Structure formats: C-alpha cells, structure tokens
A and B are shown apart, each in its own frame.
Chain A
Amino acid sequence: MIEFRDVTKQYPDGTIAVDKLNMTVDAGAITVFVGPSGCGKTTSLRMVNRMIEATSGTILIDGKDIRDSEPALLRRGIGYVIQQAGLFPHRTVLDNVATVPLLSGWDKRKARARAAELLETVGLPAEFAKRYPVQLSGGQQQRVGVARALAADPPILLMDEPFSAVDPVVREDLQNELLRLQGELDKTIIFVTHDIDEAVRIGEKVAVFRKGGVLAQYGTPAEVLRDPADEFVASFVGRDRGYRGLSFLEADGVAVGQITTATVGQPYGDTKSEWVLALDEHGRPCGWVAPESKVDGVLRTDGLVSGGSLYTAGTPLRGALDSALSSPTSKGVVVDTEGKYVGVISARQVLDLIENHPRLVSGS
C-alpha cells in the first residue's frame, strides 16, 4: 500500500507540479494515473522512488516513510519501467534483465538464471538473451523493460508511460500481457498514461489528474466513466464515454436466439433462404453462408462471408453490441469461453438490456 499525504512538489521557479496530493494506492492492484501533459502524474510517480523529491508532505510505503530509506536501496526494491524501455544499449538482453539482482549483490550465475526465467515470463524466446537492445523491436524492448523491472521480485512496480511509443496493435498485446502477468504476480502497480482508453482498460482504479497537479477524481474506471466528478473529467474521458462505459456492464443472462447452422466438411443440403452460420468441426463459428447460396455437396470454408466480432457470453455488453453491429447479418454471434457457438443476439436486445440495467437505472 502506498499513501500520499499532503504531497506537494514545487519547483524553484514557483511552478507547482503536484498540489497537496492525498490518496492511497491499493496493494496488489493496478492504479492508473491519467491526465493531460503537465498534470503532475509522472512527477507523482517519480516521487514514490525518490527520483523526484517531494517539497512537502509524506509518502508512505506499507506505513514506512520513504525518506527513511537511502534512494538507491529504496529503488532496488521498487521495479521501474521507463518510457521507451530505457534499456542499456551496451548490455545484452539477459544482462539488462539481471541489472537489479547484480546491483543487489547476487552472484552472476544466479542473477542470469533469474533473468532467463523472466524472459520466459514476459513471453520472449530464450535466443533473445544474447541479443543487444538495438536488435529488438520497440514492443520486444518494452517486454525486456518489464522483465528488468521484475527481476528482483519487487512488491511495487512503477510504470511511466511504458507503452506510449509502440503502435496500437503492439500496445494492446503489451496491455494484455501486463494484465496476464498481474494475474499471476499481484504486484502493487502504479501506471502512468495520458491515454484514457489505456487507463480504463488496465486500471482497477483510475486517478485523473488535471493541470497544476490536482487530483480531480479517483475511483474505479466504471465510476469515472459513469459519473465524472466535474466538467474537466467529463471532457477528459471523452464524448464516447457512454459507449466505453459498456465495458463495465456485465451481461448476465443475455437471452440468445437460435439460427440455422451448418458444419464445414459436412453435406450442406438444400439452398436456404436465410443466412446460415458456418461452424468448424469443433463448433466454432468460421463465417456465414449468404441466403440463396448454392452449395454443391460438402460445405467449404472458401466462399464463406467473413463474420463480425464474436461475443463471449458473460463478458461486458460492449462486446455484445459490437458483435451485433459488426455482423454481416445484424445478428451478433455469442460463443462460450471455448469459442463454441451458443446462439445469436441482436443490437435491439443489447440496447434493451442496457436500458433495463440496474446499475444504469439507479444512476449512482
């Protein structure tokens, strides 16, 4: 648990970067600091490991004032992932990851064994160990950065806009990877970003900062999206916050309809007048057969109309609405957790569910 008590950072020229910050960061959760540039989110993060010293106020880690620890020792106990990885260009990937264990006095062999283990944890192949950072893509470098931060198994991880420099597809991979890792590791993570989408995606709690270093709102992503504290937060979370809010509405007991299906590799039979969902031999959707299509003999995958996104039953309604909107037939395909066909749902049904959803109706 990390507590900020009346923490202020004022620079010699009078600029206030962080203004009387009071908040408690939960242990074992991802807390995201989000806000426009100049809002003090990075300064707040860097005060935790004393990269920046607070002008006044106190920061406590598990009840202990961070000023009682020597900065270098404090930092070895707090993982840090910097923007654009900040890897040491002159060291191999393995030695980069082994940095903190070596600083802490582990012997070389043990530190490297630990580093090799971590490369696997972050999903990098073992043959990357001997490469230099320049030989890796941005996303791979960032994975090494995460591995390096985790090497000494610190309970706290500070992540300073770690995924801002990679393209959106890689960013989403890295975000998923972080969530997966966090599921195993249960670290106390502070994650800084200027991207509200990233914040609501990975944060269990979101702290929205405004210019001048003021904490504007602190709560779960759903709370921030549904009930912004003020105009600033409302405009910062964006116009489509209503749609994004669907990410947090779990759809229990969505009524699914049934349609005609056909299995690839099996005889198709007569021409049908409606859309037919094609399933593979495991019962997973793999496309649509258009109405009035003639299929000679067995159904093949070529010639199928590609389907929209699939909605996994029990997940938030955003996926349900998207599956209906992206489907060529206006029916979203619902699957179970193994990806097998369960039924279909229409956008109308999803909207009805949203209108009758208790959390929205109560308007808390």
Chain B
Amino acid sequence: MNWVSEHISDILAYTGAHLLLSLLPVVIGLVISIPLGWVANRWRVARAILVPAAGLLYTIPSLVLLVVLPAILSTQILDPLNVIVALTLYTVALLVRVVADSLAAVPPPVIAAANAMGYRPFRRFVGVELPLAVPVLIAGLRVATVSNISLVSVAGLIGVKQLGYLFPDGYSLENYPEIITGLVLIILLALLFDGAWLLAGRRLTPWTRAGSTVEVAK
C-alpha cells in the first residue's frame, strides 16, 4: 500500500477526471434524451426509428468509438472531448427508450384531466408528465451512471488519464496495488452515485412512498 500513499495526488486527480468524464455525459445525455424520448413517445413512426437506432448505437464497441471519433470531430486522440462524446452517445442510446417508456406509462386519465383543466402542451409536459416519469427515469439514470463509471476506464487503454488508466499502467509494470486501487475506487464511485440517484429519486417522488392509508370513511 506504499504505492497508494506515494501517488495520492495522482489518484485524486484521476478520480476527479474519472467523475467528470463519466458524469458529464449522463447530464448531457439526459438533456438530449428527453426531447428525443418525447418525440418517440408522441409519434409511432418516430419510435420505430429512434428506439432501434439507439439500440444499434449501443452495440458499437467503445474502443472503436474512441479511436474513430477523433477523425470525425477532428480532435486529438487524447482529447477528453472524445470520451465525453462517446459516453454521451451511449447514455442517449440507453435513455431514449427509457424516456419514451416512462412517458408512455403516465396514466391516460391524468393526461386527459390535465388537458381538461386547461394545460397547454409544454406546461403539461413539464408540470405533469415529466414528474410522473421520474421513477422510471431514475431507474434508467442509475443504469447509465454505473455503466458510464465502468465504461470510461476503457479510455485508459488509449492513454486518457482517469482511474481506468491505472489498469494498463499497473499491468505493464506488474504493479498489483495500482490495479486493485483502480478497481476498488471505480466500484466505490459506482456504488456512491447509484446510491445518490436512489436518494435523489426518493426526494423527488414523495408520493410513491405515501402508501395507501385509506380510511374507512367515505
């Protein structure tokens, strides 16, 4: 464990980079997925195109994407932008379907009631549909976040500095404490942020835990 104490500043810097590279794409991906998911839920044809396309996107191997993106974006191979774009694509691939499904799960009588009360479409979406989609959305965000925290380590193979970089580096030096440090920290981050989403979801959806304390009264 001497290695850890000697490299503590590197480890902290890698952890910060790891978080930025994996979480920023979740945020950007969510912002992109909400309108796409809305479109997919709104029109049957759009869904028939968008959802399979998103699934297809997810099948592209991450290493390939990281190597190809610099040519498309005309960036340097080590530019963190490549990683952010790649992971944003994966997040969108995961979330488009989730957003579409979560919106489809909003009970039709509730939407009809919102219309009848005099909601205009945008306000209805923000005020009624999106809040009711939150429980399903949070489940999707948890998967996307954990998946990104794990997936970003692949960028270590091409030399992007974050916790994943400890694996090829430790492997080439046969430095096992380095590899274990990377592994443990990645798992801890994944658990931490999974828990954070869980708590955020609970805070945002008090009604789902209100429980039915129906009284005998009329």
Contacts and interface: CB of A to CB of B under 8 A. Distances in A.
A217 interface: no
Contacts of A72: 118-120
Contact of B212 (A87, A104, A134, A170): A134
A319 interface: no
Contacts of A83: 109
Contacts of B44: none
A76 B117 contact: yes
Given A135-B211, A137-B218, A76 B118 contact: yes
A120 interface: no
A99 B206 CA distance: 19
B32 interface: no
B118 A132 contact: no
Interface residues of A, number: 36
Contact of A88 (B113, B120, B213): B113
B215 A73 contact: no
B24 interface: no
A134 B210 contact: yes
Contacts of B110: 86-89
A49 B116 contact: yes
A82 B119 contact: no
Interface string A115-137: 00000000000000001111111
A89 B132 contact: yes
Interface centre among A76, A83, A90, A100 (most CB of B within 10 A): A90
Given A88-B128, A103-B118, A82 B214 contact: no
23 contacts: A51-B116, A72-B119, A73-B118, A76-B117, A82-B112, A83-B109, A84-B109, A88-B113, A88-B114, A88-B132, A89-B207, A90-B128, A90-B132, A99-B117, A100-B117, A104-B118, A131-B210, A134-B207, A135-B214, A137-B217, A140-B217, A158-B116, A169-B218
Interface of B: 107, 109-110, 112-120, 123, 128, 131-132, 205-207, 210-215, 217-218
In the A-B complex, the 10 residue pairs with the smallest Cβ-Cβ separation, listed nearest first, are A86-B113, A76-B118, A80-B116, A75-B118, A86-B109, A132-B210, A132-B207, A72-B118, A90-B131, A139-B218
Given A51-B112, A74-B118, A103-B118, 10 more contacts: A49-B116, A80-B117, A86-B110, A88-B114, A90-B132, A103-B117, A103-B119, A134-B212, A137-B214, A140-B217
